[in-house]
Amino acid sequence: MTLCAVPAYAANDPQSYAQTDKVRIRALKLDLDVAFDKRQLSGTAELSLDWRDKKALELRLDTRDLTIAKVEALDASGKAIPATFTLAPRDALYGSALTIALKEQVPSVRITYATSPEASGLQWLTPEQTAGKKKPFLFSQSQAIHARSWVPLQDTPGVRFTYTADVKVPKALRAVMSADNDPAHALDGKFHFTMDKAIPSYLMALSVGDLAVKSTGPRTAVYAEPSMVEKAAKEFEDTEKMIVATEKLYGAYPWGRYDILVLPPSFPFGGMENPRMTFATPTVVVGDKSLVSLVAHELAHSWSGNLVTNSTWKDIWLNEGFTSYVESRIVESVYGRELADMEDVISQFGLRQELATLEPADQLLMLAPQDGRDPDAVLSDVPYIKGQWFLTFLEQRFGREHFDPFVRSYFEHFAFQSIDSEQFLAYLREKLVTKFPGKVTEAELDAWLKKPGIPDFATAATSKRFEAIDAARADWLAGKVAAKAIKSTGWSTQEWVRFVEALPEKLDTRQLTELDEAFHFTGTANGEIAQRWYPLTVRSGYVAARPAIEKFLIGIGRRKLILPTWEALAATPDGHAFATAVFAKAKPGYHPITTASVTTTLEKARKK
């Protein structure tokens, strides 16, 4: 991978132009019009400022493809004075620095601006691309550095701010944000939002569409298109149980409400932990609650990530490793240890597969500063699953009777702060390592945090139910039993995933046909199975699956589910040609983040 040059004026966070040692945003006031015909947000962003350097007279913000009409300095009385500004040339990764020159350290500035129709953090769907087919849909995805494509701000997780927003939308559509949402709000085209707790920019979120609401508990509800809302509410009916279970472990839920917005299938991620309004993929709504650990994961972010945040993306394991650990504890509490064990085995299996493809430097939890890198491009299972595995190791060494209070105190101590790995380590040493000498050594901490791979002393997750799955697969591969004779009735999604993902890299057409006739993998509506089955068919030359693969790749935009198949197709000339043709059909319905990922995959393969 060719790395771009570090922005010449990057200070503090190398993936942001903000000079946070000089001035920081304290609060944001948005006033926006949503124009579906133009695929554009337009209006003003008023930024309240906290000056850190008494001599500073310059405010530098992150933008990407924004049109800046004017900038005004607002004095203590609110009087607006035109301010001089410059917009730097566009960098492919980081966009353009907006530099505002001021005559004095004013308390706030107001920027009048408009977004680009191709804003990387927004997806505009036509009515035809929605379930209802009658009304358009908009949703944002700000993580990691896409907030700058729809709001001019300091787009770094190291800066936290409160916000209010007035949003005008076409009548009969509902707007929701990562803020207070009123399910009884009249659909009159005018919405006001308040987020009174300080959040980083990547947790800014907005969606507009034909949204119905279904309550699932005293502080939970599901928002979705009318045809999806009842089904999604049934799938997520245990959300309140999850909140209660997490509170028992780690303290009171700090955000008031926890609602879930189920988005159209083009959403590029499984979920996004926007506070008070998780954005979720419809691919987890399968009718049997087998994939609701995604809700556990996004809920866990309410403590790990949203409450205690990585200060830059090089320490993303602080967000995702802690969250994956808490997710597992929630699943265990609500659904039992057996399910948690199965999911941990699956996660660790996937991590080991991915580690074989990563450079050693990308296998570390404590990454080097990510100068010149796109945080979207370097995400892997390492911060999620290696991070979780490390925390499980600490739990095993210190015992839950000591580790659970430590995690709870960690969330309380660093609440509403952005921190780095060194701060975590210092707290760990103070609260656990020095209090219980001999439990964990510095060499072991280094092996987990600062060295590639998984330490030799790590204890892998195990599952008794998977032992039966592994035995059935082995007997079938050995010819001892036919696929139709395998006693698979009642297998969960996790058991099917285990069966498929541990098959050999390639099978012959006869074997794949036998499996398909027995289990109907081709055409499955379960994305977790599909993301493992389709790459196997591609590697094995099982062209009978191609029509279903095309439908799968066009119908879903969730990167985790579809990228393995795109990568498998891109590996051969014939597959690449097929993939290129399918991408031409899929691209109009993809989110910009997914489009970028697939484009990179196909171009990288073409150059080999």
Per-residue pLDDT tens for 549-583?
A: 999 999 999 999 999 999 999 999 999 999 999 99
CB contact set of 316 (below 8 Å; sequence gap of 6+): 310, 367, 375, 379, 383
**Average pLDDT over the chain, rounded to whole?**
95
Work out the pLDDT band at 393, boundaries 50, 70, 90. Answer: very high
The residue among 274, 278, 277 whose CA lies nearest residue 201 is 274
Give Cα separations from 476 to 385, 494, 503, 528 (angstroms).
Answer: 30, 19, 10, 22
Average pLDDT over residues 203-232: 97
Q: What is the pTM of this model?
A: 0.94
Superfamily of domain 10-202: tricorn interacting facor f3 domain (2.60.40.1730)
Q: CATH says 506-607 is which class?
A: mainly alpha
Given 72, 273, 298, 320, the catalytic residue? 298
Mode of pairing for the β-strands spanning 23-35 and 160-168: parallel
Least confident of 62-76, 120-134, 249-263: 120-134
Average pLDDT for 361-384: 92
- 90 φ, ψ (degrees, to nearest 5): -75, 130
Query: Residue 179, Cβ neighbours under 10 Å: how many?
Result: 24
Sequence ranges of the domains in the chain:
10-202, 308-370+381-449, 506-607
The confidence score (pLDDT) of residue 206 equals: 98
pLDDT reported for residue 10: 39
Region 371-384: mean pLDDT is 90
Which position among 113, 163, 384, 534 bears the catalytic label?
384
pLDDT above 70 covers a percentage of the chain that reads 98
Residue 12's pLDDT is what?
Answer: 79
In the predicted model, what is the mean pLDDT of residues 101-130?
A: 96
Share of the chain above pLDDT 90, in %: 94
Active-site residue flag, 444: no
What is the reported pLDDT for 5?
39
- Mean pLDDT along residues 254-275: 95
Residue 384 designated active-site: yes
pLDDT digits (tens, 9 = 90+) for 137-152: 999 999 999 999 999 9
Beta strands, E only, 115-251: 122-125, 137-140, 160-168, 174-177, 190-200, 206-209, 212-217, 220-224
Task: List, for residues 406-423, the tens digit of each pLDDT value.
Answer: 999 999 999 999 999 999
At 493-527, the pLDDT tens digits run: 999 999 999 999 999 999 999 999 999 999 999 99
Average pLDDT over residues 252-266: 96
What confidence category does residue 7 fall into, taking pLDDT thresholds of 50, 70 and 90? very low
Contacts of 138 (CB under 8 A, 6+ apart): 34, 36, 122, 123, 124, 125, 206, 207, 208, 209
**What is the pLDDT at residue 608?**
72
Surface-to-core class of residue 219, CB atoms within 10 Å of its CB (0-12 exposed, 13-18 middle, 19+ buried): middle
- The CATH classification number of 308-370+381-449 equals 1.10.390.10
Pairing of strands 40-51, 23-35: antiparallel
Which helix (H) or strand (E) segment holds residue 309: the answer is strand 308-310
Report pLDDT digits (tens) over 413-457. Answer: 999 999 999 999 999 999 999 999 999 999 999 999 999 999 999
pLDDT band of residue 4 (cuts 50, 70, 90) is very low
Residue 176 pLDDT > 60? yes
